[in-house]
Amino acid sequence: MSRTLRGFRDILPPDSELFSAIEAAAREVFRLHGYREIRIPTLETKELFVKSTGDTTDIVEKEMYAFTDGGGREVAMRPEGTPGVARAYIEQNLSQGGRNAKLFYIGPMFRAERPQAGRYREFTQIGVECIGNPSPSADAESIALLVKVLEKAGAPGCTVELNTLGCAECRRAYRETLLGYLKLNTEALCEACKRRVDRNPMRALDCKVDGPWLADKAPKISLCPSCVEHFDRTQELLKAAGVDFKVNHTMVRGLDYYTRTVFEVKAGALGAQDAVAGGGRYDDLIKSMGGPASPSVGWAMGLDRAALVIKAAGAAPEEKGPAAFFVASGKEAGVEAFRLMSDLRSVGLAADYSNFDLSMKSQMRSADRSGTDYAVIIGEDELKAGACSLKPLKGQAGQESVPFSGLASRLARKPD
């Protein structure tokens, strides 16, 4: 018998229903903020991620599902969404007309990392990208948008942390300072950091092994006046939007394209691996890919991580059974039950059944398991009377006879 691969899994109810509820909450918040959906391919060229995500990142070096396809092309399953959206922005000429593009995506990503709580090798991300807006207001709106999504989905107690990495000029000067510091501590670095230090010294600050002690002791970046103003303004706007946050000067984020503002949302309920979502500004990415200069900001949230927070808070949507579960005895009763179920569904009332060929006792057991408030029973007597027997399965109310024509209006009332 075939089984799922390690790090992959089937998502069953009620988890699948919780995922759908989070997605629905996100879609509603996105609509209110003017974001529209983009659907990008699951499979892209490997080069796209090497050049954007960064060839020294863990994602590209260790975690990407990459292979040569039948046509001899180097391709990869997408490990994140931003590069694909950036490619689409260029390829589909979305900058035409000079308007900002406010886009969101929901879909599976793939990373060959070690599976752990809330982290799988195939996982669903919700992400947004605001492309073409250099203003701190775009940073603040993006962060506030993320907080609103989590609040609406029922994930309480999350904290926002933010930092600034400076612009390209700030980073260029900082690179030399940081490189000098790392060279003095080469022997203390892990093998991965030793290998990367000359190509991308800032990657050491995000290393899972060396990052914690390096971040505390490494020299801090010196910002140009423009970057100082941008970060101050972002914080001012977040306060105006009522978003609580704290500045974390040690935060780097694990992707090479970030500039200026970076941020993470964390939840104490997740323990040491407490990140729920994260993002930042990427002013130079699209231009580096051959597109027009397009200062941008965005974030991504893992649905598994958000779902863990919601479940830990006891805020997962309550499982609901159908409005009615039909139990029928005999062929004619089965036909009438089918007609009534169709009528109920046409007015928005959920109706279900098991198998009318089974015994009434077996059908009633299925009704009990369904979580419904009512069993609708139809047999020979009910057919003669033109009325079903409505049996409450919760509470103390007794069974009642309801005309077939009045069943929908009766079920629309709250249970007694």
pLDDT in tens, 107-148: 999 999 888 777 899 999 999 999 999 999 999 999 999 999
3-state DSSP assignment of residue 279 = strand
At residue 88, the pLDDT reads 96
3-state DSSP assignment of residue 115 = coil
User: Parallel, antiparallel, or unpaired for β 296-302 and 122-131?
Assistant: antiparallel
Binning pLDDT at 50, 70 and 90, where does residue 34 land? very high
Q: Using alpha carbons only, what angle is made at residue 179 by residues 176 and 182, rounded to the nearest 5 degrees?
A: 155
Q: How far apart are the first and last CA of the chain?
A: 48
Q: In what order do the strands lie in the sheet with 259-267?
A: 36-37, 101-110, 122-131, 296-302, 275-281, 259-267, 158-164, 245-247
Residue 175 pLDDT > 90: no
Q: Please give the Cα distance from 329 to 98 (Å, whole number).
A: 67
Pair 404, 378: CB distance under 8 Å: no
The CATH number of domain 324-410, selected from 3.40.50.800, 3.30.70.1710, 3.20.10.10, 3.90.1150.10: 3.40.50.800
Binning pLDDT at 50, 70 and 90, where does residue 378 land? very high
How many of the other CB atoms lie within 10 Å of CB of 218? 21
Where is pLDDT greater, at 416 or 333?
Answer: 333
Q: Please give the Cα distance from 58 to 113 (Å, whole number).
A: 9
Chain segment 284-330, per-residue pLDDT in tens: 999 999 999 999 999 999 999 999 999 988 878 888 889 999 999 99
CA atoms within 13 Å, Cβ hemisphere of 207? 24
Q: Please give the Cα distance from 262 to 167 (Å, whole number).
A: 12
pTM summary value: 0.86
Residue 209 pLDDT > 90: no
Q: Please give the Cα distance from 216 to 250 (Å, whole number).
A: 7
Q: Tell me the Ramachandran region of residue 190: left when phi exceeds 0, alpha when psi lies from -120 to 50, beta otherwise.
A: beta
Q: Please give the Cα distance from 59 to 79 (Å, whole number).
A: 7
CATH superfamily name and code, 15-167+224-312: Bira Bifunctional Protein; Domain 2 (3.30.930.10)
% of the chain exceeding 90 in pLDDT: 68
Q: Please give the Cα distance from 67 to 74 (Å, whole number).
A: 6
Identical fold for domains 15-167+224-312 and 324-410, yes or no, is no
Domain ranges of the chain: 15-167+224-312, 324-410
Overall residue count recorded for the chain in this entry: 416
